[in-house]
Amino acid sequence: MCAVGATLLAAGGLATSSRAQLADDGTTLATPSRTVTVFAAASLTAAFQAMAVAFEKDQPAVKVQLNFSGSATLVQQIQEGAPADVFAAADEVTMQKLVEGGTAAAAPAIFARNTLQIAVARGNPKHITALADLARPGLIIALCGPTVPCGRYALEAFHKAGVALPAASQELDVKAVVSKVAMGEVDAGIVYATDVRAAGGTVEGVDIPAAANVVARYPIVALSTAPSPAVAAAFVAFVLSAHGQQVLGDFGFLPR
């Protein structure tokens, strides 16, 4: 039996039966939900879409519903009562807000890591080669807002490189930064290396040296308010499993 199946068994037996269960007094209980709703950081979009397919293949009785946005936006949605089973964030600071609010069912686990790149237009027409180039007059820059993980990571990278933060737009999530670069609305932006890869050639990535780069750590947790706690625990277990880690690796994420 796979680890995910064992988790489902331990958490309520969803993997073994699709029939309604009986209470101690013989009355019929509602059939357990077989949907897991996952709120995940925007940078996980492509990887978690593939993760959902792999999980549903492993657990055919379960359907995965995905909601992607900036990590801070997702926390706000959860705290306002949005029905979610699992939360996967792009940084530990944002996850901690959820933990402090009492919504995490357990201690969050790091499931992946990532690094930053400078996203530029195809062919790099502005000849951007380093963070310092983003301060050149006339360049239009897009960054994630300061409350968004990719925005905080970018600020840290500029600080490590000894470069003043350039004037830039403040986007709600990293996908918005990639989109603006791809559409030619801006000349460059700071994104995750996996986002450049997921863009499929619509943008190019300029490497940031390790001395100035930031390693993003992605935590995941099942929620104490999860409508489907059994499948929530199973999905988290799957992401942490060798199979889940392989899926993440296929999209350029670094091992946890």
Instruction: Find the CATH number of the domain harbouring 70.
Output: 3.40.190.10
Count the domains in the chain: 2
| Residue 159 and residue 46 in one domain | no
| Residue 243 and residue 196 in one domain | no
At 254, is the secondary structure helix, strand, or coil? strand
Instruction: Give residue-wise pLDDT tens across range 177-230.
Output: 999 999 999 999 999 999 999 999 999 999 999 999 999 999 999 999 998 898
- Which residue type occupies 239? V
Retrieve residue 25's tokens.
């007094």
Question: Quick check: is 17 in a domain?
Answer: yes
| Residue 150 and residue 181 in one domain | yes
Non-local (6+) Cβ contacts of 107 within 8 A are 221
Question: Quick check: is 82 in a domain?
Answer: yes
**Nearest of 58, 78, 51 to residue 14 by alpha carbon:** 58
Non-local (6+) Cβ contacts of 17 within 8 A are none
Pairing of strands 141-144, 169-171: parallel
| Residue 69 and residue 34 in one domain | yes
The residue with tokens 């988290």 is 236
Instruction: Give residue-wise pLDDT tens across range 108-163.
Output: 999 999 999 999 999 999 999 999 999 999 999 999 999 999 999 999 999 999 99
| Residue 17 and residue 95 in one domain | yes
Q: What is the DSSP letter of 43?
A: G
Say yes or no to pLDDT of 18 above 80.
no
pTM for the structure as a whole: 0.85
Q: Are 208 and 119 in contact (CB under 8 A)?
A: no
Q: Are 31 and 57 in contact (CB under 8 A)?
A: no
At 64, is the secondary structure helix, strand, or coil? strand
Question: Quick check: is 213 in a domain?
Answer: no
